[in-house]
Amino acid sequence: MATRELGLARRIHVWARRPETRRACAEKIWCDAVFPEAVDAVRDSDLVVLCPPVDAIVPLLRQVSPAVETGALVTDVGSTKSRICRLGSHIVPKEAIFVGSHPMAGSEKSGMEHAAKDLFRDRACLVTPLEESPSGQVDKLVEYWKSLGMEVTTMSPEKHDEIVAQISHLPHLLASLLALHLSRKPEAWQAFCGNGLRDTTRIAAGNSGIWRSIFEENKEELLRAIDGFEVELGRMRSALHNGEWAHVRHLLEQGKSYREGLD
């Protein structure tokens, strides 16, 4: 939608797994052609963007790679990068290139009905080349996301996974576990839940299959993030237990400063 709006492509070819989605796409003005087979959507393309859940990206790339053109640039929009980028660079034909992307937009909602042409504007996008990725192609991909209005940073796939484990996957896990924990309490308590809890748990409403896959792909970094969080939780627990109220306030104040810095 944004690519058409901004005139970044001559033709936009679409494949989607579900027939209903393909039918819906065929009616959109931003879509020039819809293909029942992914491999046919990829043929003749300069830029291929793979957008399934993270566990389906590598299988999809294997399926379409015979049709990837010489000189074509293939990317994905998965929330994890290490495994996908290492495998992806070997799967695409030698004359093409795979470089991972992670446009950090979206919300707890998924599906085409939540598409918006300004979804990417002013949001962060991480592009994750390997050391051997040709810089000209990497620059082209960076320019594509910038043209959509994104703030692009490049880094290694491993650094990406370390960062998102902390700033995205850990928050999702905590929001989800808080909701899970409260789901075991009497249902009547829900009437007393305020906007604070609603905000804190909002992302727990995200698709459980998508997040299961993200957690699986980024398991090691996520476990490290949990370990780090547990240290903080343990410290706070001790401070509460021992009645160290000045320290408790100091910890709360540090959290407050960080949060205010995000606005």
Q: Scanning residues 169 to 208, which ones bind a second copy (CB under 8 A)?
A: 170-183, 185, 189-208
Residues 60, 25 contacting (CB under 8 angstroms): no
Q: Tally Cβ neighbours within 10 Å of residue 24.
A: 15
HSE toward the beta carbon, residue 221, CA cutoff 13 A: 23
211 binds a second copy (CB under 8 A): yes
Decide whether 136 or 196 has the Cβ nearer to a second copy: 196
Among 4, 28, 123, 224, binds a second copy (CB under 8 A): 123
Residues 123, 102 contacting (CB under 8 angstroms): no
Query: Residues 225-248, buried b or exposed e (16+ Cβ, 10 A)?
Result: bbeeeeeeeeebeebeeeeeeeee
111 binds a second copy (CB under 8 A): no
Decide whether 23 or 249 has the Cβ nearer to a second copy: 249
Among 72, 78, 215, 221, binds a second copy (CB under 8 A): 215
Decide whether 18 or 259 has the Cβ nearer to a second copy: 259
29 binds a second copy (CB under 8 A): no
Query: Hey, which residues between 135 and 154 contact a second copy (CB under 8 A)?
Result: 151, 153
Decide whether 65 or 213 has the Cβ nearer to a second copy: 213
Query: Hey, which residues between 30 and 59 contact a second copy (CB under 8 A)?
Result: none
Number of residues lying near a second copy (CB under 8 A): 84
- Alpha-carbon distance of 47 to 28, in angstroms, equals 20
Residue 123's SS3 state is: coil
Which residues are within 8 A (CB) of 15 and not within 5 positions of it... i.e. 6 or more apart?
A: 22, 34, 35, 36, 37, 38, 40, 41, 42
Decide whether 27 or 187 has the Cβ nearer to a second copy: 187
Among 77, 126, 138, 142, binds a second copy (CB under 8 A): 126
120 binds a second copy (CB under 8 A): no
228 binds a second copy (CB under 8 A): yes
Which region among 5-13, 91-99, 132-140, 216-224 touches a second copy (by CB under 8 A)?
216-224
Q: Which of 175, 244, 240, 235 is nearest to 205 (CA)?
A: 175
Angle (nearest 5°) at CA 132 between 51 and 50: 5
Which region among 2-10, 17-25, 65-73, 104-112 touches a second copy (by CB under 8 A)?
104-112
